[in-house]
Structure 1
Amino acid sequence: MSSTDPTPGSLARRLGTGDAVVVGLGAMIGAGVFAALAPAAAAAGGWLLAALGVAAVVAYCNAMSSARLAARYPESGGTYVYGRQRLGDLWGHLAGWGFVVGKTASCAAMALTVGSYLAPAYARPVAVAAVVALTALNLFGVHRSALATRIIVGVVLVVLAAVVVAGLLGGTGPVVGAAGGGPVDGWSVLQGAGLLFFAFAGYARIATLGEEVRDPQRTIPRAIPIALGLTLAVYALVAVAALRALGPAGLADTPAPLAAAVSQAGAGWLTPVVRIGAATAALGALLALILGVSRTVFAMSRGRHLPAGLDAVHPRRQVPHRAEIAVGVAVVALVCVADLREAIGFSSFGVLIYYAVANAAALTLRRDEGALPKAVPVVGIAGCLLLAATLPGTAVLTGLAVVAVGVVVWWAGRGVRARR
């Protein structure tokens, strides 16, 4: 039996370093670069690049903690697994719970983004079709999903390169300055960082695929920092180009910042290309999100923190088909009935709590287990909690309510797990 052949009940290890990096890039770049800059600029003003730097520091700490833990525990589930192993059953459950609920909302938001860019008058039907199509693609196997993500990332990067060139060459606006809403203080910069952090969260998808990566002890710690570094470089270039084309105030005032940037820079012919690129990016994010959420559902079902039966593995394709279908159905339901314009804040809260648990778990690693310098997980915990506190009040209150429901679900399932 080869190293990629699965044992009964496990997932096939088919992803190499390049595939894992592309999955992370598809999630991070597709999740926020076309939309997150405007609300972040409204909060941080001319300090947008500083906010980007703060978000990147917190994301780096989270990435390094996640990488060390994923190498130690190369299983599907990410921080759900790490929290249980290092901190106790409740903390792992809460991490997985926050990830599944928050990222299911993110899936719906990305699907609606696809619909709003491609056919605004039919946004919901198009969003439903996108969810159904990508769920079906995932059912055919993670290797095909990684290949599709590679194509999507390539298209998006070409579009972003065109935006950067147009903005840098045609723009004349200031890169620093007030956003038009008065002075910017440290709290505003942190709020901008919290909004931008949503766009960095995709490296979790690499960790949640730990059971499907070849040589995970080497591949995951290499893939996560590479994906994060490439994403930061892309975001910084795009932010500078958008600021040069529009200025902080202009960037803050537009719902489609990159389309506005190329138009203002005198390259209006690029606007339709940017809109298609935005829809493609959202598709890439949706593909990676469905992939990651379904693997966490699979792991939580296997641990009996979610209903039994969702941990089934397809006998031929070696994918968690029931978990993938369940996630797809939940996302379609949200797309059909929910107004998800505030879902980004709620999702960010769940993701930040998820990574706070990851950093806490990394803090317990010993030197012989690949422990990081203590400052890395400590800064990660503090950064996650601080950025979570800066989010809109409704997102914080809703997030805390969801955490409380998660505690109730964990408590109610104790008897089932004890009988195993």
Structure 2
Amino acid sequence: MTSRPSLARKLGLADAVFIGLGSMIGAGVFAAFTPAAHAAGNGLLIGLVVAAVVAVCNALASAQLAAVYPESGGTYVYGRRVLSPWWGFLAGWSFVIGKTASCAAMALTFAFYAAPAGWERPVAVAAVVGLAAVNYRGVTRTAALTRVIVVVVLLALAVAVAAGGSIIGGPAGFAEATDPGGLLAGGGYGILQSAGLLFFAFAGYARIATMGEEVRDPERTIPRAIVIALAITVVVYGIVAVTLLGVLGPDGVASSVAPLADTVRASGWDWAAPLVRLGAAAASLGALLALFAGIGRTTLAMAREGDLPSWLASVHPKFSVPHRAEVVLALVVSVLVLTVDLRGAIGFSSFGVLLYYFVANVAAFHQPAAERRYPRALQVLGAVACVILVATLPPVGIAVGVGVLLVGAAYRIASMRGTART
């Protein structure tokens, strides 16, 4: 095993909250409502509540674990420490592979909003390289840029909601969007599928936990940051969802490539459409920036334990970042951006994230009484809900997710055999 130079603890509570917000109020708010409406219509509002409940259970499990294991790697570390190395590996592998695909998807989504036609892939690669350079220079620069991005995104969402609110018609429009008949029209399966897809947009609080080695007073800061960031995100998503359904209706949301931009146009606020596009582009960059940080730290943790090549565990002596892991990640994402279009990878990403949090709930359930902060019933609910939501994801997403797990298991078995021979 290689030596383990530590990352520097430079992040405070506000930094951690903004990193969580940058991860959750990212491109998901601009992209996840369309497939959710296709699955459940107005019932996506129920799906949103379900996704939020599952997210709360998972977030509290992560907070409880992070208070005891304030290290880089998040659930990968928790699974290893509390359960077994195999549990940790499955969580870490799912996270690294699934979120690497999400990085490519976020880069392409940014380019879709920001680049001239025909220049999407080069612009996406430029975004990857630029954000990788920010991450490489240290976590404080990552946090500072995230603050700016989050403010831009929230302003764009506020304009879109105000535009939609101007034509919904007040309480009557709200009543139509939340009519019980419409809410249940998609059926139970459709609602659960929408919840699984919308969970993709909530999952960013993991980034706070994966950066546990860089947070000051982590036993106190990480749980507080996770809860605050998730609470703000739930409120924002709820307001946006009701606005979209009230203006476009479920069929309009389901058929829209850019529902927030369409909401602004439907309101007659044409001047605001560029601002919404700017917000969508910024949201994609914010999600991409947070993903780079989270994947880099999880890769560092896995390399430290020998579950990935040990040379990836190197920490830069000046900037205190996992620099080799971040360079490799930027190269891999750039290749993906240039060769495939992963903007439709929400189902696959949700599979990996739900498995990741299933492991977190199981690990938190097995913590001893002295380490517990929340009732075990919440972890049981979280674990069961993760399994149910995985089962309702689109079949292609499930198939790809299972394939990734099998490849990962084969890699680890081969690696363990190679180590045993030496």
Q: Classify the TM-score, shorter chain.
A: over 0.9
Q: State the shift of 1:263 in Å.
A: 1.0
Paired residue for 1:154? 151
Range with bigger deviation, 407-416 or 52-61 = 407-416
8 A contact 1:27–1:284 mirrored in 2: yes
Paired residue for 2:43? 47
Paired residue for 2:272? 270
Query: What's the secondary structure of 1:306's corresponding residue?
Result: coil
Paired residue for 1:111? 107
Deviation by residue 1:154-212 (Cα, 9 ceiling, x = unmatched): 111111111111111222453146999x9410000001111100000100000000000
1:226 and 2:228 aligned: yes
Residue 21 and residue 395 in structure 1: after superposition, are their counterparts in 2 closer, same or farther (change >3 A)?
Answer: same
Q: State the shift of 1:13 in Å.
A: 0.1
1:288 and 2:285 aligned: no
8 A contact 1:171–1:246 mirrored in 2: no
Q: State the shift of 1:414 in Å.
A: 2.1
Range with bigger deviation, 407-416 or 82-91 = 407-416
CA distance in 1, matches of 2:305, 2:196: 32
Q: State the shift of 1:41 in Å.
A: 1.2
Paired residue for 2:130? 133
1:217 and 2:214 aligned: no
CA distance in 2, matches of 1:269, 1:342: 29
8 A contact 2:300–2:313 mirrored in 1: yes
Aligned to 2:71, which of 54, 64, 75? 75
Query: What's the secondary structure of 1:339's corresponding residue?
Result: coil
CA distance in 2, matches of 1:311, 1:415: 21
> What percent of counterpart residues are identical?
57
Q: TM-score, normalised by structure 1?
A: 0.95
Paired residue for 1:12? 8
8 A contact 1:152–1:284 mirrored in 2: yes
The amino acid of 1:102's aligned partner reads: G
CA distance in 2, matches of 1:72, 1:8: 19
Count of aligned positions: 414
Q: TM-score, normalised by structure 2?
A: 0.95
CA distance in 2, matches of 1:412, 1:401: 17
Paired residue for 2:388? 386
Aligned to 2:379, which of 374, 377, 380? 377
Range with bigger deviation, 163-172 or 207-216 = 163-172
CA distance in 2, matches of 1:287, 1:179: 40
Q: State the shift of 1:416 in Å.
A: 6.1
Aligned to 1:98, which of 81, 94, 100? 94
- The answer for unaligned runs of 5 or more in structure 2 is none
Q: State the shift of 1:57 in Å.
A: 0.4
CA distance in 2, matches of 1:293, 1:101: 9
**RMSD between superposed Cα atoms in Å:** 1.9
After TM superposition, list the pairs within 5 Å mapping 1:311-326 onto structure 2: 311-326=313-328
Query: What's the secondary structure of 2:313's corresponding residue?
Result: coil
Query: What's the secondary structure of 1:404's corresponding residue?
Result: helix
- The answer for unaligned runs of 5 or more in structure 1 is 1-6
Deviation by residue 1:328-354 (Cα, 9 ceiling, x = unmatched): 111111111112143111111011001
